[in-house]
């Protein structure tokens, strides 16, 4: 796959971390406690409770696009990276035109990550997260919704469906992990199938979960922002697919880490298989050679 041509990094205003929200509650108990809370926070929580599809609804594919539209802001519905450029180093978002045309790339913004999505594979090409100690601490109090849904911002022909994964033998593997989401709405958003790729179950719940956890542990020790790039690779030909929608099954997954303060970088590239084992991280140079992606072009790098 063709690498990206990254623009030169420029200075930007640092955005504050998301404030820690209250633990999830049902709509009745929330209404009862609204008098003791900030009115705006209560209104947001009640809106989210009504909008988030339940796991049962999600499994039955009865959640409408109108319902899931409510999870996204007006800016996020625009399918550009303008509203989430702060997720990238220097505030400079990727240009979707730098990706191979056949990937049919689209920019998608979420509350806590940005994504380049491929309508060809019906998976992410890459998700980008700006993490720091505060955001991970906020994420630690959030509860998973486990309510997967087709992303309403994408045409039906360009997106995966719940039926594509059902009975496939693969997990709906997060690229931007649920455990990184620092707010109730962000948690709900990350269960969009646009954030998923078919992942071997033991890989998803074992070695890859360890990779994700190790990155969070590093972020908690870091003194500033850490940028994390995650995505699937399709190195085997022909590419395997699942479902009527022919969602591409990755041969590997990658996770590239860049510490903006120390300028250190490293990457994990692991096979998408149940017997995949943890291997030492590789250098950025090795990552570029193996993937063709130059996500950190123009950024200062430690020697």
Q: How far is CA 259 from CA 58, 168, 215, 239, 249, in A?
A: 37, 37, 11, 33, 30
Q: What CA–CA distances, in Å, run from 61 to 26, 51, 70, 138, 144?
A: 22, 15, 17, 31, 19
252 is an active site residue = no
Note whether 116 and 126 are within 8 A (CB). Answer: yes
Candidates 112, 174, 252, 263; catalytic one: 174
Tokens of 100: 């191979």
Burial 40-71 (b: 16+ CB within 10 A, else e): eebeebeebbebbbeeeebeeeebeeebbeeb
How far, in Å, CA of 147 to CA of 288, rounded? 35
Question: What residues pair up with 259 in beta bridges, in sequence order?
Answer: 226
DSSP 115: E
Radius of gyration from C-alpha coordinates of the chain: 19
Q: Which residue(s) pair with 227 in the sheet?
A: 130, 258
Give catalytic residues, as residue numbers: 174
């Amino acid at each position: 796959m063709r690498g990206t041509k990254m623009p030169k990094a420029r200075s930007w205003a640092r955005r504050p971390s998301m404030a820690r929200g209250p633990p999830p509650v049902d709509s009745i108990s929330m209404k009862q406690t609204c008098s003791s809370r900030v009115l705006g926070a209560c209104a947001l929580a009640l809106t989210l409770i009504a909008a988030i599809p339940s796991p049962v609804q999600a499994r039955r594919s009865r959640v409408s696009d109108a319902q899931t539209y409510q999870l996204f802001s007006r800016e996020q519905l625009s399918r550009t990276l303008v509203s989430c450029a702060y997720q990238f180093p220097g505030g400079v978002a990727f240009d979707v035109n730098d990706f191979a045309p056949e990937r049919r790339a689209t920019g998608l913004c979420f509350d806590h990550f940005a994504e380049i999505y491929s309508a060809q594979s019906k998976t992410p090409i890459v998700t980008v997260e700006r993490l720091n100690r505060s955001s991970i601490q906020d994420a630690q109090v959030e509860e998973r919704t486990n309510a997967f849904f087709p992303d309403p911002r994408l045409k039906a022909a360009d997106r995966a469906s719940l039926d594509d994964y059902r009975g496939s033998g693969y997990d709906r593997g997060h690229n931007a992990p649920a455990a990184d989401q620092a707010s109730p709405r962000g948690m709900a958003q990350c269960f969009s199938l646009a954030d998923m790729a078919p992942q071997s179950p033991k890989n998803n719940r074992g070695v890859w979960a360890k990779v994700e956890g190790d990155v969070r542990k590093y972020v908690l020790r870091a003194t500033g922002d850490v940028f994390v790039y995650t995505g699937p690779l399709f190195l085997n030909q022909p590419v395997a697919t699942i479902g009527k929608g022919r969602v591409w099954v990755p041969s590997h997954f990658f996770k590239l880490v860049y510490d903006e303060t120390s300028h250190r970088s490293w990457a994990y590239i692991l096979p998408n298989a149940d017997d995949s084992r943890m291997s030492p991280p590789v250098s950025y140079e090795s990552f570029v050679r193996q993937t063709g992606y130059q996500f950190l072009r123009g950024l200062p790098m430690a020697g």
